[in-house]
Amino acid sequence: MATQPTKLSLSPREPGSSRATRRLRREGRVPGVIYGGGADPVAFDVDERVLRHALAARGAVLELAIGGDTTPAVLKDAHYHPVRGETLHVDFLRVRLDVAIHATVMLDLVGADEAPGVVEGGVLEQVTRELNIEALPGDIPDSITFDVSKMEMNATVTLSELSAPEGVTFLDDPEETVLATITPPTLEPVEDEIETETALVGEDGEPLEGEDLEAALAERDDAQAEGDTGEEAEQKADSDSSDES
C-alpha cells in the first residue's frame, strides 16, 4: 500500500509561448499545471530528474509545495517524448485525502517461473496490465500483484480471482477482465516438400538417397508438369526407380 506522500517542490511560472516552453526543457525543466479541488489552475515547472524519481511510485499521492503552499495531488496526465522518453508535460489533480477518487494502477504478475503450465513449456500472456480502481488517495497502492504460480496449461484467470487490497474497489468487470492465460507452444509446421521427399522409397522399401533420390524427384516433377496429380507423380517416380534398381 502507499505510504507517506512524496514531497515535490515546484516553481511557479507564467504560462508562456512554445519558445519559452522549449527553453525550459533545454534547461532540464518540465512544465506542468495543477488544477481541481475548487481552486484556480496553477502553472509550474520542475526539475526533470526530481520529477522522475517522485513519479516512480505511480498512483501514489504527492505533496506538492509551490509558492509557500502545499497540497496533496495525484498525477492526472503526462506526455513523453516518443523517442527519448523524456517527460514533456505533466498535469496534477488536487485531491482531498478523505474523498475517494478513481485511479489506474499497474498489475504485476509474480511466480511465473513456478507455474506448472510454464514448466511444461506453455506460454504465459499477461492480458491486463492496468487496473481501474476507486480508493482514498492515501490508500492507492503503487501496484497490485497477482500470484500465477499455480496456473496450469490452458488456464485463464480473471479479475474475479484477485482480491482487492484493503480500502480498494475494482472498477473493471470481474468476470470479463482477463488477467493472464497460459497456452501450449505453437508447433512449427512441417514443409510438404520434406514430407514428400522422405516418402520416396526404392524397391527394397528403404528411403531413396543421393543420386537415386534426385532422379526420382526429377521424374516426379516432370510427371507433374505433364499434368499428373501429386500422388500419380510419386507413384510413377517410385515405379521408375524400382525398375532401374
Residue 93 one-letter amino acid: L
Q: Using one digit for the tens of pLDDT, what is the confidence trace for 32-49? A: 999 998 889 999 999 999
Cβ atoms of 88 and 149 within 8 Å: the answer is no
pLDDT at 206: 62
Q: Using one digit for the tens of pLDDT, what is the confidence trace for 93-130? A: 999 999 999 988 999 999 999 999 999 999 999 999 99
Q: What is the pTM of this model?
A: 0.63
The domains of the chain are located at 6-95, 102-183, 192-244
Cβ atoms of 48 and 91 within 8 Å: the answer is no
The residue with greater pLDDT, 85 or 109, is 109
Mean pLDDT of the chain: 83
We find that the CATH architecture of domain 6-95 is Beta Barrel (2.40)
Cβ-count burial 1-40 (b if 16+ within 10 Å, e if not): ebeebbebebeebeeeeeeebeebbeeebbbbbbebeeee
Cell of 75: 498525477
We find that the CATH architecture of domain 102-183 is Beta Complex (2.170)
Task: Please give the Cα distance from 61 to 140 (Å, whole number).
Answer: 8
